[in-house]
Amino acid sequence: MPRNPITSTLNVFTNPKAAENLRPKRVVPDYEAGLRLDELFDFDVEMAKLDAIAKSHGGNGEALNARAEVVVALKQLTQTARQRAETMLLEEDRRGILCAQRLSAVQDSLIRLIYNFALKNVFRVQNLSEGERIAIVAVGGYGRAMLAPHSDVDLLFVLPYKQTALGEQIVEYILYMLWDLGFTVGHATRSVDETMRQATADMTIRTSLVEARLVHGNASLFEELETRFHTEIAEPTSSEFIEAKLSERDARHRRMGESRYLVEPNVKEGKGALRDLHTLFWIGKYVYHVKRGRELVSRGVYTRAEHDRFLRAMEFFWTVRCHLHFLAKRPEERLSFDMQPALALRLGYEDKGALRGVERFMKSYFEWTRDVGNLTRIFCSALEEAEKKQAVGLFSRMTSSGPKAIGTDGVFIVENGRVNVTSPHVFEEPLNALRLFQIVDSEKLDYHPHALRALSRHLRYFDANALKREDMNALFLSILAHGRDPENTLRYMNEAGVLGRFIPDFGKIVAMMQFNMYHSYTVDEHLVRTVGVLAAIEEGTIAEEHPLASRLIPDIQERDLLYVALLIHDIAKGRPEDHSIAGAKVARKLGPRLGFSASQSELLAWLIEEHLTMSTFAQSRDLSDLRTIADFGAIVQTRERLRLLLVLTVCDIRAVGPNVWNGWKGQLLRTLYAETELYLTGGFSADERKGRAENARQMAIAHLTGDADDPWPQDKAEQYVGLHYSPFLKACDTPEVARITRLLAKGDEDRKPFLFTVDCREFKDTTQLKFMAADHPRLLSTIAQGCAAAGVTIVDARIFTTRDGRAISSIFVPRELPDNEAECRRASHIAKLIEDALAAGGSSLPAMIEKRGKRSRRQKAFQIEPRVTVSNELSDSFTVIEMECLDRLGLLADVAGELSNLNLNIATARVSTFGEKVIDTFYVNDLIGHRIESPQRRQRIRDAVLAAIERRARKEKNAGDGLVMEMTI
């Protein structure tokens, strides 16, 4: 594919550091060159064609047929020009800014064609009078002379003070023609006086005029507009404009999710993306009345290197945005999962090592947003401070009256609440870099832009010798584990480049994205957030959500080590080796450097290697099974390691993204912790568990007989509680056992074969439904089908049988409504659907599931090879089937139905969803209660489950072809 030598190679995009090594004239785009990019079509030739159309209709361009022919001709012209622009973007110069300029030039020419055609052939006017003058002005993004393929076209029609009928007719004709051509046009028609009045009152109008540009028409009207805007509005209100734009930026960041490291970012509005760059140019142009961004260098606003960096970032984002619009065929601004692989392919990113091309592309994206963030902070902070001080020159040395020294050696000062340095050379001593972050954190101050700029220029002093220094490592550990706000401090350290320099392995995962729907942030942002969760637990601000972790924190002896473990637990992501194992190797090297003993470093390595273990056991294994607790206890071995792993697991899950943590996951972890603690302290045995079950039985009886509102006779309580087997009694608390027992009795009294209860209060993120029905092999399958037909995902399911042949099915579904009453009505509707399906044999459900069960566009971006294991090694009482595959609606119902076809009883189903991936575990036995001992039958089970997984997926486009089959005999 040919490349324009000006752009060198895609190395400019895929490796920003490499781009810096190229000469600026080769990599810095001049997007303000002011070129009239008319290479896509010849204006005079096209104008002659339109005149010919009018002439063929007797010179009447207003004729209906003439208008229709003009629209067809202009549509074809537009389509051809856009296709040519896309080809040039893909195959020739490959530069987004040039593409945007070309599309803007095409739009300019279309408007000029329509205007000229209207005057000559529709209204037949040769010379406009003074009152008929009109200026067609591009405003907003279009005024920048850059237009994305499907962006809105913002126009201001400037008319004289006394408008004429002709002027209004011309405006109307142009707008209707643009609408007929399929453009979305934002427009206003005003005189200069009216524009000034409205701009004074409306900041949005004021902003749109900052980059106003004459497209066609009367130049003197536009010059009057431009001159009056800058003299009457911009010059007197620069402080107001700056404050408004910075507040608007902050509000936009909050609306878009705060973090610039969201894995489906918005290339236009996201933090660190195009809108942030535009904001800087708006402010610079508003304050300094310059035509081009490069003029801000001579004004002292930017250094040349910073301005070049902005332009390279602008080039990257515009290239991505143009490709995105062309791909989506609409004004799409979000880099959704389904778009990212195609964009990576278009931009030339290929798989390299363990990183896929799409992950390399997104890493580049986040590196650019980080750089924009650094430059934005420096620029905006300095500008804001300069305005407050009424200084001349935004980046001049601040000489505020009375800066206060801070610290003991005189290298740091405080100016207007920001910590600055007395000299840029301060950071030639790398310890001072860490001290800057410590002082800002401990004193609750902010960072002065000069200090951050100086720091970014001295990162090379974090060399191998500096990393070995005890004072450096001790100070870093103090910031991490004893700081006031370690999450915020680490985020600043990361964005300044210090964290990646101090821990080189951390630098490898900076801005790294994992291409899946489970993680909402880049790897480095996730790690920083886990530290913040731990700090919040220690402060007690989220104790209600994490009661066990909050209770355990004071008893943890190795809290400093825990902070380090959270910061580096995913540090080896993106490597060919399993990241837990590779991360443990990193921990063994880093531990001694940070001052940990050999045993502490080994504990740190163990935490990293096992950081997923507790979550896996809690969400995938039957916690009432003796073997589960014994296996987990053998891994953990000590109560201190159990405490550390519990807190680490909570922080890890909580920091994955919004809505990932829920009360049900917390309950699973608490149950696993309690059972394992008993195991480790010698209180875990078959006899002891039998005693606990008996104790739970007696407590339930006492609860029923002692109920003040509805006391039961002793014999009735003993009879019905006696129907429960031990696993149910141990899995539920006493009030829950009593509720279900009353449900059994009600079923007998009302002679109802199916009853249910709904609980919307116990877990705020999930709703629990319990069903009582006659036990039969297809019960779970029908329940799952009912949920799928209602469009509801099951996050966990368990089935308990009673001694009289009934089954109690407990399922958890994600909560959708905040109000308990409304949520309970919704859950009751689901239960009624299941009841009707059971009564009808479930015959109507498959068609309903088929209608609902199509994969979304986001899901279609992923391919997961199904994996199925059938094992007798995980339980002494059951055969355990584990499956991992791409999630879809109705999957649990399909697999549960297949297991019923195989004459298997499902005792427990654990459903764990991780974004687009699901990991389900089924504890099964045969119809007489035995495990499946025959290897041949286990093989058939595995094959049948794989077939059930693929059956519907095979019908869908883009479904995976290969299968990875595993079996443990």
For 114-133, what is each residue's pLDDT tens digit? 999 999 899 888 778 777 88
**Residue 852: per-residue pLDDT:** 55
Sheet with 404-406: strands ordered across: 404-406, 412-415, 418-421, 446-447
- Choose the weakest-confidence range: 334-338, 590-594, 857-861: 857-861
**Rounded Cα distance, 426 and 434, in Å:** 12
Q: Please, are residues 825 and 831 in contact by the beta-carbon 8 Å criterion?
A: no
**Rounded Cα distance, 670 and 618, in Å:** 9
Work out the pLDDT band at 26, boundaries 50, 70, 90.
very low
- Cα-based angle 581, 583, 586 (whole degrees, multiple of 5): 120
Question: 3: helix, coil or strand?
Answer: coil
Report whether pLDDT(953) > 70. no
Report whether pLDDT(964) > 60. no
Element (H, E) at 180: helix 165-180
**Rounded Cα distance, 565 and 567, in Å:** 5
**Rounded Cα distance, 319 and 665, in Å:** 42
pTM for the predicted model, two decimal places: 0.80
**Residue 862: per-residue pLDDT:** 66
More confident residue, 742 or 785: 742
Question: 6: helix, coil or strand?
Answer: helix
Question: 381: helix, coil or strand?
Answer: helix
**Residue 322: per-residue pLDDT:** 96
Region of 805 on the Ramachandran plot (φ > 0 left; ψ -120 to 50 alpha; else beta):
left
DSSP annotation of 861: G
**Residue 516: per-residue pLDDT:** 65
**Residue 303: per-residue pLDDT:** 76
Residue 16 to residues 89, 370, 463, Cα–Cα distance (Å)? 20, 11, 21
Report whether pLDDT(2) > 50. no
Report whether pLDDT(348) > 80. yes
**Rounded Cα distance, 671 and 411, in Å:** 53
**Residue 771: per-residue pLDDT:** 84
Residue 409 to residues 294, 412, 448, 574, Cα–Cα distance (Å)? 40, 8, 18, 42
Strand partners of residue 154: 186
In the chain, the largest separation of any two C-alpha atoms, in whole Å, equals 106
**Residue 79: per-residue pLDDT:** 93
More confident residue, 477 or 691: 477
* Max mean pLDDT range (127-141, 405-419, 590-604, 948-962): 590-604
- Choose the weakest-confidence range: 40-54, 191-205, 951-965: 951-965
More confident residue, 829 or 161: 829
Report whether pLDDT(661) > 80. yes
Work out the pLDDT band at 400, boundaries 50, 70, 90.
very low
**Residue 912: per-residue pLDDT:** 81
**Residue 966: per-residue pLDDT:** 35
Question: 709: helix, coil or strand?
Answer: coil
Q: What is the mean pLDDT of the chain?
A: 84
Report whether pLDDT(193) > 80. yes
**Rounded Cα distance, 290 and 301, in Å:** 12
Report whether pLDDT(780) > 50. yes
**Residue 960: per-residue pLDDT:** 42
Work out the pLDDT band at 10, boundaries 50, 70, 90.
very low
Strand partners of residue 798: 810, 908
* Max mean pLDDT range (287-296, 469-478, 686-695): 469-478
Report whether pLDDT(957) > 70. no
**Residue 517: per-residue pLDDT:** 65
Q: Over pLDDT 90: what percentage of the chain? A: 46
More confident residue, 341 or 760: 341
**Residue 847: per-residue pLDDT:** 58
Work out the pLDDT band at 457, boundaries 50, 70, 90.
confident
Element (H, E) at 868: strand 867-871
Report whether pLDDT(317) > 70. yes
Work out the pLDDT band at 32, boundaries 50, 70, 90.
very low
Work out the pLDDT band at 167, boundaries 50, 70, 90.
confident
Work out the pLDDT band at 610, boundaries 50, 70, 90.
very high
Residue 181, classified by CB atoms within 10 Å of its CB into exposed (0-12), middle (13-18) or buried (19+), is middle
Please name the amino acid found at residue 667: Q
**Rounded Cα distance, 203 and 244, in Å:** 8
pLDDT digits (tens, 9 = 90+) for 364-395: 998 898 888 877 766 765 565 555 554 433 33
Average pLDDT over residues 501-519: 85
Tell me the three-class secondary structure of 412-436, residue by residue. Answer: EEEECCEEEECCHHHHHCHHHHHHH
pLDDT digits (tens, 9 = 90+) for 542-573: 998 899 999 999 999 999 999 999 999 999 99
More confident residue, 25 or 248: 248
Cα dihedral 665, 918, 654, 559 in deg (nearest 10): 80
**Residue 264: per-residue pLDDT:** 86
More confident residue, 280 or 265: 265
Report whether pLDDT(461) > 60. yes
Question: 588: helix, coil or strand?
Answer: helix
Work out the pLDDT band at 684, boundaries 50, 70, 90.
low
Q: Over pLDDT 70: what percentage of the chain? A: 87
* Max mean pLDDT range (93-107, 592-606, 694-708, 915-929): 592-606
pLDDT digits (tens, 9 = 90+) for 842-894: 555 565 565 555 555 555 666 788 999 999 999 998 999 999 988 887 788 88
**Residue 112: per-residue pLDDT:** 94
**DSSP per-residue codes, 796-857:** EEEEEEBTTSEEEEEEEEE---SSHHHHHHHHHHHHHHHHHHHHTTTTTHHHHHHHH-PPPT
More confident residue, 511 or 428: 428
Report whether pLDDT(9) > 50. no
Work out the pLDDT band at 468, boundaries 50, 70, 90.
very high
